[in-house]
């Protein structure tokens, strides 16, 4: 039988930090589960891409940022907005298409936006936000500031020309940006073998003049440590980094396709769930006596309460007016 890989002991002095990460991942998980239910009940319209299974990536990475850094993400971005400080009420209301949503109910699930918290979307076109992230990084450098930009995208974005153009220019112009590829092994329903092969071929063929790291995207601490290194490189030396986080989504590509069946087996899904990011961190904390069982129950209940409050708030929020355009930059 395969020997388990030994894990580094946790540092007892950082227990509050670990519990903070756990608390956030529990909130994301519960938020997405309840959003999935609300979608099935017809309370959310349009597309809805859930992040369940991938929580360690955004949680670990965003915990390495300062408040004045910038985050860009794809359409699978509820978690990224929540972690950036857009409250569960404003995110849920946006999914419900209500006026109190962070994009005033006119963006929906794929187009969350929150300038105040420097969350720069929510982008539906695969790869389209990579040049925008590089542009923000260029502006930071041009002004002589020291913020960092982090750009999350799926592995299918390496098929898009903008990925290659952006990485080339970010390397050439030495921009303070972290490109974080969330490789969840599937681009929509593309078979695993094909998606993974395409990703590997591109990555082998195109080597950019920048630091690269591959991390276990189911391990929140590993993601956090790699992102901290990349952020330091960006902030101190204004250099870009490409991080590939190997992760897995438990749900279908969106609420429009089944959890499994067409392109993956139930067995594969169950095997991946054994590496669940929330369970992994909880277990490590429990094994070292840093998390009493009662505390885990309290954190889970607190997440549930926060999400229930967000659902009630979203339900009660009015529909947007018939004005087509609202300037989300202005207030």
Ligand X SMILES: Cc1ncc(C[n+]2csc(CCOP(=O)(O)OP(=O)(O)O)c2C)c(N)n1
Supply the Cα-derived Rg of the chain in whole angstroms: 19
Report the alpha-carbon distance of residue 90 to residue 63 in Å, rounded: 21
Binding mask 109-148 for ligand X (x = CB under 6 A): ---------------xxx----------------------
108 near ligand X (CB under 6 A): no
Nearest CB to Mg ion, comparing residues 254 and 326: 254
- 101 part of the interface to Mg ion, by CB under 5 A: no
**Among residues 157, 230, 281, 285, which is the contact residue for ligand X, using CB under 6 A?**
157
Closest approach of ligand X to the CB of residue 249, in Å: 7
Cβ nearer to ligand X, comparing 62 with 157: 157
Q: Could you count the other beta carbons within 10 Å of the beta carbon of residue 14?
A: 13
* Rounded Cα–Cα distance for residues 18 and 21 (Å): 5
Q: What are phi and psi of 127, to 5 degrees?
A: 80, -5
The candidate with the shortest Cα–Cα distance to 110, out of 138, 81, 133, is 81
Position 76 contacts ligand X (CB under 6 A)? yes
Considering only 253, 272, 276, 307, the residue that binds ligand X (CB under 6 A) is 253
Q: Does 184 bind ligand X (CB under 6 A)?
A: yes
Candidates 183-191, 200-208, 278-286, 320-328 — which segment interacts with ligand X by CB under 6 A?
A: 183-191
Segment 185 to 204, residues that bind ligand X, using CB under 6 A: 186-188
> Judged by CB under 6 A, does residue 88 bind ligand X?
no
**Cβ nearer to ligand X, comparing 80 with 253:** 253
DSSP 35-50: HHHHHHTT-S-S----
Q: Is the dihedral of CA 23, 29, 30, 32 positive or negative?
A: positive
When the beta carbons of 154 and 252 are compared against Mg ion, the nearer one is 154
Q: Which of residues 134-193 bind Mg ion (CB under 5 A)?
A: 154-155, 184, 187
Q: Which of 58, 181, 72, 57 is nearest to 117 (CA)?
A: 72
DSSP letter, residue 114: B
Q: Which residue is nearest to Mg ion (CB)?
A: 154
Cβ 24 to ligand X, closest distance in Å?
A: 19
270-306 burial, b at 16+ Cβ within 10 Å, e below that, comes to: eebeebbbbebbbebbeeeebbeeebbeebbeebeeb
Site for ligand X in 284-313 (CB under 6 A): none
Q: With respect to ligand X, which residue has the nearer C-beta, 264 or 284?
A: 264
Token pair, residue 56, equals 């360690």
Q: How far apart are CA 217 and CA 249, in angstroms?
A: 11
Burial class from Cβ neighbours inside 10 Å (0-12, 13-18, 19+) for residue 4 reads exposed
| Contacted entry of ligand X, Mg ion, none for residue 188, CB cut-off 5 to 8 Å set by kind | ligand X
DSSP 8-state symbol, 182: E
How many whole angstroms separate alpha carbon 90 and alpha carbon 84? 12
Stretch that binds ligand X, among 112-120, 154-162, 170-178, 238-246 (CB under 6 A): 154-162
Q: Tell me how far, at minimum, the Cβ of 200 lies from ligand X, in Å.
A: 14
In the complex, which residues of this chain contact ligand X (CB under 6 A)? Answer: 76, 124-126, 154-157, 160, 184, 186-188, 253
In the complex, which residues of this chain contact Mg ion (CB under 5 A)? Answer: 154-155, 184, 187
């Amino acid at each position: 039988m395969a020997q388990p890989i030994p894990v580094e002991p946790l540092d007892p002095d950082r227990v509050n930090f670990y519990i903070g990460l756990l608390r956030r991942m529990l909130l994301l998980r519960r938020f997405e589960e309840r959003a999935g239910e609300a979608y099935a009940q017809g309370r959310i319209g349009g597309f809805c891409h859930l992040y369940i299974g991938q929580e360690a990536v955004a949680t670990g990475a965003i915990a390495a940022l300062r408040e004045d850094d910038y985050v860009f993400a794809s359409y699978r971005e509820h978690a990224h907005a929540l972690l950036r400080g857009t409250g569960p009420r404003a995110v849920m209301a946006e999914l419900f298409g209500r006026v109190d949503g962070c994009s005033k109910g006119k963006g929906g699930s794929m187009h969350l936006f929150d300038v105040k918290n420097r969350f720069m979307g929510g982008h539906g076109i695969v790869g389209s936000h990579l040049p925008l992230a590089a542009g923000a990084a260029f502006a930071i450098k041009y002004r002589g500031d020291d913020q960092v930009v982090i750009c999350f995208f799926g592995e299918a974005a390496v098929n898009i020309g903008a990925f290659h153009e952006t990485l080339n220019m970010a390397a050439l112009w030495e921009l303070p940006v972290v490109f974080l590829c969330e490789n969840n092994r599937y681009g929509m329903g593309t078979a695993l073998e094909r998606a993974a092969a395409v990703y590997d071929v591109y990555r082998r063929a195109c080597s950019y003049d920048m630091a690269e790291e591959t991390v276990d995207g189911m391990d929140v601490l590993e993601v956090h440590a790699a992102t901290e290194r990349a952020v330091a490189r960006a902030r101190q030396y204004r250099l870009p980094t490409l991080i590939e986080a190997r992760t897995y989504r438990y749900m279908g590509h969106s609420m429009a396709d089944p959890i499994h069946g067409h392109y993956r087996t139930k067995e594969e899904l169950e095997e991946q769930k054994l590496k669940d990011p929330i369970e992994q961190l909880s277990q490590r904390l429990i094994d070292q006596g840093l998390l009493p069982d009662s505390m885990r129950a309290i954190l889970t209940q607190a997440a549930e309460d926060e999400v229930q409050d967000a659902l009630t708030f979203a339900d009660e929020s009015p529909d947007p007016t018939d004005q087509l355009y609202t300037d989300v930059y202005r207030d």
